[in-house]
Amino acid sequence: MLDIKAIRKDFPILSRQVYGKPLVYLDNAATSQKPTSVIKALTEYYEEYNSNIHRGVHALSMEATDRYEEARQKCAGFIGSPIAENLIMVRNTTEAINLVAQSWAQHNIGPGDEILTTHMEHHSNLVPWQKVAKDRGAELKFIPLTSEQTLDLSDLDRLLTSRTKLVALNHMSNVLGTINPVKELGQAAHRVGARILIDGAQSVPHLKVDVKDLDCDFLAFSGHKMLAPTGIGVLYVKQEVLEDMEPFLRGGEMVKQVWDDHATWNDLPMRFEAGTPNIADAIAMGAAIDYLEALGMENVRQHEISITEYALNAFQELEEVTVFGPRDMSQRGGIVSFYGGDVHPHDIGTMLDREGIAIRTGHHCAMPLMNKLAVPATARASFYIYNTEEEVDLLVSALKATLRYFSKA
Amino acid sequence: MCAGWVIIMSTQGFDFADVDDLYREIILDHYRSPRNQEKLAESDLEAEGMNPFCGDEVVIQIKLVDGLVDAVSFKGNGCSISQASASILTDAIKGKTLDEAEALYFRFRDMMYGKSSSDDDADQLGEVEALAGVKRFPIRVKCALLAWATLEDAIKKHAREAEKKTSDKP
């Protein structure tokens, strides 16, 4: 069990008011808030040992290098990678996926090959594959959705064939909260000789993800959705795949030796980290992982199951509201997307905002999914470790009042 | 679970006094009963506008008689502000020349961007002035402007076509 009251005290922003009302922050799938320990890790770096890493011989540089590599170790431990060098520090999940598209897919996918993805991807796990398919003459295929917005795997044998070179999908949908069977899909992919990329942007912050257990080839995630600052994320790549990949960006840090007309590449993972990396934010991500590990990811998951179940039950009172995604909490994370009948999501968002309640409205960077759901947009509440059932009550009562306000009666 | 502070939050009322300036009665009325929805059998101007950020869509059609807007229609999908603004627009430009309609757009746009005084606007804008409250909600300004920007597109397209016709004449 999490001590929510104690947790809330660790997040300075949660005590602020918005339009004179206490902040109710329910937009965690967009970005999470940051605890004091993470903010402190940032200021400590800049106040005490700010310097460039991997090259300097002076004390500050060595200290910063140690702390940066320690953060990489923490990330590796957090996702169950035995080797820290299999983790590449990037800006975010989007950059991680683009790195795979450019450095692996462009060299390993050819004419007539197929990339299998799903109808519930964030644009960041779709648009890069559209480019690879176009550049390489490959075909994009999609796993469709069931009526409860889980993956419909009934036709998987037809979709996943010896032509498939990559299966790219999310572990948890940023719109539906659906948790996808990535381990089983990884096994199925490997049986036909395909690689699997998991977009872990929504899963890594909320449940225990173990790359050894999943046996995935690529895992991408962002720090900012898991208590860390923006601008830092991770791409995990399985060793045998990593050795085969072409560099992503070229320049300093990623080279071993450089001549007038050519260069040799640095060791892994620096080969993929050209230029001065985001040192401060990487170190702060280490602090975020310390915070989550102290809570225990099992406890984080249990809290989110409990608050999401509470929200789904409370939403049943609202007849005119459609809630998307599966009801079975073993297949769902702490994301509740809904459509308020006659009231447009944007109007709901503005009304709730004025009551201090922050939710997300729009297409959530998942326009093809909006088409499948036959809605222009949805409103989305998403939970994290500091959210309470009382905040869900506030959301539901403000939503009721909003629907009344706009009702045509 | 953490009772004390929460009880205070739960008793908070939802009077939405603050948003009344955004959702004025005229706006809600146009949203609930949009005007001029009937598709025109034939039109001289037509344009489609979209705001990809929130998925608002609007199509505007205009029929001219003797250089004046005789019939106008819109069809759309989106939030209350975008759709009410489109409905208000259709009423507002009826009987006007395209130059006058365009001038109304410029005046409205200036108001949304805070470039004009509200006293002037009240006189000149008529019912359109009901949208003045939107400017306090910057994220919603482009919802209010969508139909008007679409009107501007239609007018420009019409002018280009008219110019082409003139220059094509032998």
Tens digit of each residue's pLDDT (9 = 90 or more) over A228-239: 999 999 999 999
pLDDT > 90: what percent of chain A? 96
Element spanning B153, H or E: helix B138-168
Chain B residues near residue A345 by CB distance under 8 angstroms? 54, 79
pLDDT of residue B19: 85
A365 assigned to active site: yes
Single out the catalytic residue among A127, A255, A329, A365.
A365
From A188-197, A399-408, B27-36, the region with the lowest mean pLDDT: A399-408
Residue range A349-360: mean pLDDT, rounded: 96
The pLDDT mean for chain A works out to 96
pLDDT of residue B120: 63
Partner-chain residue, chosen from B12, B22, B54, that has the shortest CB–CB distance to A377: B54
Q: Å from B80 to nearest chain A CA? A: 7
Residue range A127-141: mean pLDDT, rounded: 98
Architecture of domain B22-164: Alpha-Beta Complex (3.90)
| Alpha-carbon gap, residue A61 to A58, rounded angstroms | 6
Helical pair A389-406 and B3-10, crossing angle rounded to 10 deg: 0
Separation in Å, CA A330 to CA A148, A165, A180, A389: 14, 29, 10, 20
Contact indicator for B133, B22 with CB cutoff of 8 Å: yes
Q: Which amino acid belongs to residue A406?
A: F
In chain A, what are the domains?
A: 4-30+296-406 (3.90.1150.10), 39-293 (3.40.640.10)
Q: Å from A264 to nearest chain B CA? A: 44
**What values do phi and psi take at A323, rounded to 5?**
-105, 135
pLDDT of residue B170: 64
Q: List CB contacts of A137: < 8 A, sequence separation 6 or more.
A: A110, A111, A112
Residue range A90-115: mean pLDDT, rounded: 98
Residue range A25-33: mean pLDDT, rounded: 98
Contact indicator for A308, A333 with CB cutoff of 8 Å: yes
Residue range A253-258: mean pLDDT, rounded: 94
Task: Read off the pLDDT of residues A216-231 as tens digits, 9 standing for 90 and up.
Answer: 999 999 999 999 999 9
pLDDT of residue B117: 66
Q: How many CB atoms lie within 10 A of CB A171?
A: 26
Residue A215 has pLDDT above 50, yes or no: yes
| Partner-chain contact B10 A347, CB within 8 Å | no
| Partner-chain contact B140 A361, CB within 8 Å | no
Residue A98 has pLDDT above 90, yes or no: yes
**What values do phi and psi take at A268, rounded to 5?**
-75, 145
Residue B2's pLDDT band (boundaries 50, 70, 90)?
Answer: very low
Give ipTM to 2 decimals.
Answer: 0.82
Domains of chain B, residue spans = 22-164
Residue B10 has pLDDT above 70, yes or no: no
The nearest alpha carbon in chain A to B11 belongs to: A394
| Partner-chain contact B2 A363, CB within 8 Å | no
| Partner-chain contact A5 B12, CB within 8 Å | no
Q: Does B11 touch chain A (CB under 8 A)?
A: no
Q: Å from B168 to nearest chain A CA? A: 41
Residue range A188-207: mean pLDDT, rounded: 98
Q: Does B143 touch chain A (CB under 8 A)?
A: yes
Residue B7 has pLDDT above 50, yes or no: no
From A33-37, A131-135, B50-54, the region with the lowest mean pLDDT: B50-54
Residue B124's pLDDT band (boundaries 50, 70, 90)?
Answer: confident
The nearest alpha carbon in chain B to A8 belongs to: B2
Q: Does A16 touch chain B (CB under 8 A)?
A: no
Residue B102's pLDDT band (boundaries 50, 70, 90)?
Answer: very high
Task: Read off the pLDDT of residues A37-79 as tens digits, 9 standing for 90 and up.
Answer: 999 999 999 999 999 999 888 999 999 999 999 999 999 999 9
